Amino acid sequence: MQGTQQTPAESAPYTPTDRTVPTRAAHKASYDRDLVHAILDEGYVCHLGFVRDGAPVVLPTLYGRVGERLYVHGSTGSRPLHMTGEAGPGLPVCLTVTHVDGLVLARSAFHHSINYRSVVVHGTAHQVTDPKEKRLALDALVDHVVPGRSADSRPANKKELAATAVIRLDLNEVSAKLRTGGVNDEPEDLALPHWAGVVPLRKGYDTPLAEAGLAPGTGLPDYLTAL
């Protein structure tokens, strides 16, 4: 099923490449488009890697997704955004999003692990110059934090738009990797007197803390109550 289509349809899996097929634990890899989207949409921060002066740099940053495009924004003065330039060949990047779901405690030290879901995107980031796409990207970045939020905030004005650089990374060379389930101990270790199992990590939201001085009548919006 994988790798058979040159131009995959919206629901087809991503085509594996040399970079997205792991050298080991290949069974943990997936190219499923819906799975990739779900992992990306659940995250708040990606880790964006690029090369500067021959050395790797990995920075945490917000992101947003519109279909098969990821957007990252920042000040026009920030390093990775500046490096993409306004035109030209773009900046080779690797963008990774990871969720830790549980701690896997095996009877043997060797088989300790975590349950996780991650997505790694390889590609070339380009600066977004089209004003319409830039607005769309900024809305996506805000809606990524809280779905529906961009419609309930003051849109960026000209000055803010000018101060914000947005880069785009297309979802072409993409893979997900995940570990789920229980402990994989060696058969000869099963009788050892060590507790073994999974500690799930709990995730959620605490009560929203309203700023002082909200406009009169500004209650907690439904999209926050629903979190």
User: Residue 26 interacts with a second copy (CB under 8 A)?
Assistant: no
* Total residues in contact with a second copy, by rule CB under 8 A: 96
**Binding residues for a second copy restricted to 63-82, rule: CB under 8 A:** 75, 77-79
d(C-alpha 65, C-alpha 75), whole Å: 19
**6-14, 26-34, 57-65, 126-134 -> range binding a second copy (CB under 8 A):** 57-65
User: Residue 57 interacts with a second copy (CB under 8 A)?
Assistant: yes
**Binding residues for a second copy restricted to 85-124, rule: CB under 8 A:** 92-96, 98, 100, 103, 105-110, 112-114, 116, 118, 120, 122
Q: If you write DSSP's letter for every residue of 51-86 in order, what string do you get? A: EETTEEEEEEEE-EEETTEEEEEEETTSHHHHHH-S
Of 50, 84, 127, 174, the one binding a second copy by CB under 8 A: 50
Q: Which residues contact 169 (CB under 8 A, 6 or more apart)?
A: 69, 70, 71, 72, 93, 95, 121, 123, 124, 125
Read off the tokens for 23: 């050298």
**Binding residues for a second copy restricted to 157-176, rule: CB under 8 A:** 157, 160, 164
**2-10, 33-41, 126-134, 197-205 -> range binding a second copy (CB under 8 A):** 197-205
Q: Which residues contact 159 (CB under 8 A, 6 or more apart)?
A: none
Q: How far is the CB of 1 from a second copy (least distance, A)?
A: 25
Count of Cβ atoms closer than 10 Å to residue 139 Cβ: 19
